[in-house]
């Protein structure tokens, strides 16, 4: 047990060291020189959306679309079977095109540089549970069928802070990961995601839907 805790602590320390180099800001809206905020071009996607997939969950982390390039994000979302888009920042586009494309927009904005408040957490966890677990205690009937794949896309401004934090919380709540495991999984796919302040928040996060086992909990244990 002591060795496991020491390894987890060492991993967290190493991750924080990387944060110092990759994330100068604490808010998560900036921090990666390879990504521009808000779109480098009106007709391109400045930061390629990042799929985060486990046995039971499917997410797509994105930066914020603009009205002028929203059609490109819709195309990318369709490619990834997105049914819902969660906007965690101030609006930069109208939601009517998403509705026309068959996707539901969820407003879950909270202040950059802060942890998600309780109402946002409840709204987020309810959405994840409903989409991937049918809102009950077991895996939804559609989750395992390839022609009915469901993905939740989530974006903040740069897709490096608030959006990855929500995905990490979902991994902790429903895939029984601890904070380090969840952050390492996200960072392996999206470089620069989650800074030191956000990592510390996740390490102290208390699961709302815990059902025993490692990490937080799992509704399908």
- pLDDT of 135: 59
Known active-site residue 112: yes
Distances (CA, A) of 16 to 97, 129, 187: 39, 30, 12
41-75: pLDDT as tens digits: 457 888 899 999 999 999 999 999 999 999 999 99
Q: Is 195 helix (H, G, I), strand (E, B) or coil?
A: coil
Known active-site residue 156: yes
CA distance 114 to 23: 15
115-138: pLDDT as tens digits: 999 999 999 999 999 999 985 444
The two tokens of residue 117 are 């408040």
Are 126 and 219 in contact by the 8 Å Cβ rule? The answer is: no
pTM assigned to the model: 0.74
Q: Which of 77, 89, 156, 216 is the catalytic position?
A: 156
- pLDDT of 219: 41
Q: Which of 19, 63, 112, 178 is the catalytic position?
A: 112
């Amino acid at each position: 047990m002591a060795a496991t805790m020491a390894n987890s602590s060492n991993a967290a320390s190493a991750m924080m060291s990387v944060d110092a180099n990759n994330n100068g800001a604490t808010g998560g809206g900036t921090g990666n020189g390879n990504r521009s905020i808000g779109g480098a071009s009106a007709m391109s996607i400045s930061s390629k959306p990042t799929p985060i997939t486990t046995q039971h969950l499917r997410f797509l982390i994105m930066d914020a679309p603009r009205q002028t390039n929203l059609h490109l994000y819709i195309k990318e979302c369709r490619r990834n079977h997105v049914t819902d888009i969660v906007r965690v920042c101030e609006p930069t586009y109208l939601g009517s095109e998403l509705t026309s494309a068959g996707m539901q927009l969820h407003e879950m904005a909270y202040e950059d540089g802060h942890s998600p408040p309780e109402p946002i957490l409840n709204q987020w966890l309810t959405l994840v549970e409903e989409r991937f677990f049918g809102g009950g205690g077991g895996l939804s009937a559609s989750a395992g069928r390839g022609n009915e794949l469901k993905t939740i896309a989530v974006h903040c401004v740069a897709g490096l802070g608030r959006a990855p934090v929500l995905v990490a919380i979902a991994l902790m709540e429903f895939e029984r990961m601890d904070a380090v495991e969840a952050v390492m999984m996200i960072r392996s796919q999206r470089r620069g995601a989650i800074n030191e302040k956000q990592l510390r928040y996740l390490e102290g996060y208390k699961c709302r839907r815990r059902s025993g086992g490692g990490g937080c909990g799992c509704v399908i244990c």
